[in-house]
Amino acid sequence: MSLRMPQIRFNDSDQLAALCKAGGDALRLNVLRALSSDSFGVLELAQIFAIGQSGISHHLKVLAQAGLVATRREGNTIFYRRTLPQNDSLGGALHAALLEEIDGLALPEEVQARISTVHAQRSAASEDFFARMAGSFQARQDLIAGLPQYRDSVVALLEALNFDAHATALEVGPGDGSFLPELAGRFARVTALDNSLAMLELAKAHCERQTLGNVELKLADALHDDCPPADCVVLNMVLHHLAAPGEALKQLARLVRAGGSLLITELCSHNQGWAREACGDLWLGFEQDDLARWAAAAGLAPGESIYIGLKNGFQIQARAFTRPAADDRLTHR
Ligand SMILES: C[S@@+](CC[C@H](N)C(=O)[O-])C[C@H]1O[C@@H](n2cnc3c(N)ncnc32)[C@H](O)[C@@H]1O
């Protein structure tokens, strides 16, 4: 008679063990902390944590095997981002608790300083692009999507929000100013700010041609300079030029008055790496969930969304997020 041993399946406990192993290292915890509202490429993470590429790749592999990070290819670069805990699946509660604890940690100062350096490198690339390419702005925009393709959708979101006659608007990154007439006709006062003098000149010429009397143009960086709060903050095709979009949303949300809205038009996630060179894009669009998650972290509630498919295969998302009316945490800078 042969004795049959019961087969022991470790699959579930293996999965939990991978999660515990991934969390059992200070560097990996700091990587997860750094990814809380950002995503970084391998080389950027190697720079931020001052270790070699093979060292950081090993840690990222352990985190990926545990399901704590996911990858996304952007052109030639693979970006890492945190995954969301799935509370109803194995390890989900542990995953959520781990992230909650991690988010209470402060990153070492030198790590924070190197993250700022990476952001500054990304921003410099974007600013340089608009300074050099203002002359061919329209043609480059049209390579992917131009205002005619999303104007009506943004207008539909504006109309649905039904702002009162005294409401004010702030457009960040108006580009050549083509959307400003829509805002000028619907708001008492409009401020448009751009950090590129060359682009601001284009917007100024457009406002003059359209004799818009209630638009103020300002040369300013929306993330680093003082900006006036408004009832409606509009961001058309700007976020993918910002170094740290999740953090940027937090700052821009502060400019929205209680009861007001943040309107974001963006490309949906795509894999057309040439857009970096041709259009100065830092990010190849965004996952719909990422925008919603960043907005929620910024204290904004989801509103209407419109998705626009284009013949060239790109998809645009026009999204409205609202600051609750009772929200008095507004921090004007
Ligand atoms: C792709 S263009 C979009 C223009 C326009 N909104 C449209 O939909 O056609 C991005 C604009 O954002 C501006 N921009 C990028 N980063 C900025 C920042 N940090 N602060 C203000 N403007 C910024 C650029 O100079 C440029 O004018």
Pocket probe for ligand 1: among 122, 151, 241, the residue whose CB has the most ligand atoms within 8 Å is: 241
| Residue 72 confidence (pLDDT) | 75
Give 167-217 pLDDT, tens digit per residue: 999 999 999 999 999 999 999 999 999 999 999 999 999 999 999 999 999
The pLDDT score that the predictor gives to residue 12 is: 81
52 & 170 share domain: no
Mean pLDDT of the chain: 88
Q: Edge-to-edge strands of the sheet including 69-74?
A: 40-41, 77-82, 69-74
In angstroms, the CA 102 to CA 283 distance is 26
What is the enclosing helix (H) or strand (E) of 263?
strand 256-267
Q: Is residue 331 part of a domain?
A: no
Do 251 and 176 share a structural domain?
A: yes
Helix axes 137-144, 109-133, angle to 10 degrees: 110
DSSP assigned state of 266:
E
d(CA 242, CA 221): 11
In a domain, 297, yes or no: yes
What is the pLDDT, as a whole number, of residue 333? 40
Tell me the per-residue pLDDT of 96-120, one tens digit each, with 9 for 90 and over.
999 999 989 999 999 999 999 998 8
Q: DSSP assignment of 15-40, as one string?
A: HHHHHHHHHS-HHHHHHHHHTTT--E
Q: Which among 59, 91, 107 is the end of a domain?
A: 107
Kindly state whether residues 100 and 139 are assigned to the same domain. Answer: no
Ligand 1: residue of 238, 250, 281, 314 to mutate (most ligand atoms within 8 A of CB) is 238
Structure token pair of residue 274? 């040439």
DSSP 42-66: HHHHHHHTT--HHHHHHHHHHHHHT
Total domains present in the chain = 2
Residues 311, 176, single domain; the answer is yes
Nearest CA, atom 4, ligand 1:
175
CATH number, domain containing residue 145: 3.40.50.150
Is the domain of 142 the same as that of 262?
yes
Query: Is the domain of 153 the same as that of 83?
Result: no
**Predicted confidence (pLDDT) per residue in 6-55, tens digit:** 665 668 888 899 999 999 999 999 999 999 877 889 999 999 999 999 99
Is residue 45, in this structure, part of any structural domain at all?
A: yes
Which range of residues forms the domain containing residue 152? 135-322
Give backbone dihedrals phi and psi of 103, rounded to 5 degrees, phi first. Answer: -70, -15
Question: Do 212 and 80 reside in the same domain of the chain?
Answer: no
Inside any domain, residue 327: no
Q: Are residues 142 and 103 in the same domain?
A: no
Q: Record the tokens describing residue 121, joined without a space.
A: 């490198």
* Percentage of residues of the chain with pLDDT beyond 90: 60
Domain assignment present for residue 123? The answer is: no
Residue 120 within a domain:
no
Q: Are residues 63 and 176 in the same domain?
A: no
Q: Cβ < 6 Å from ligand 1: which residues?
A: 126, 130, 141, 147, 172-175, 193-196, 199, 221-223, 236-238, 241-242
Question: Pick the residue with more confidence: 30 or 133?
Answer: 30
159 with 89, same domain: the answer is: no
Q: Give the rounded percent of residues in the chain with a pLDDT score beyond 70.
A: 92
Contact between 314 and 237 (Cβ < 8 Å): no
Provide the angle, in degrees to the nearest 10, between the axes of the packed helices 288-297 and 245-253: 50
